Amino acid sequence: MFEGLFQPMHLLVILVIVLIIFGPGKLPELGSSIGKAIKGFKKAMTEAEDKSGEASEAKKIEDNKKE
């Protein structure tokens, strides 16, 4: 379905449409905000993994104390 979506001509058309919609002045702001959003998402994912790892370790320690 998406076989030819990322061909150079298609990407060029998408870039032109984005330039028309946002204008060349807004693109740096748009890029930085997308970058910050991705960075925040990655940070939240690693924090969630750390918390789940700490919780499972704490549970293992409690289980060992009960035995």
Q: What is the pTM of this model?
A: 0.51
Q: Which two tokens stand for residue 9?
A: 């001509």
pLDDT, residue 66, reads 57
What are the φ and ψ backbone dihedral angles of 44, each rounded to 5 degrees? -65, -40
Angle at 19 between CA 17 and CA 21, to 5 degrees: 70
Residues 4/10, Cβ–Cβ less than 8 Å: yes
Separation of alpha carbons 31 and 22, rounded Å: 11
Residues of the chain with pLDDT under 50: none
pLDDT, residue 11, reads 86
pLDDT, residue 36, reads 95
How many residues are recorded in the chain? 67
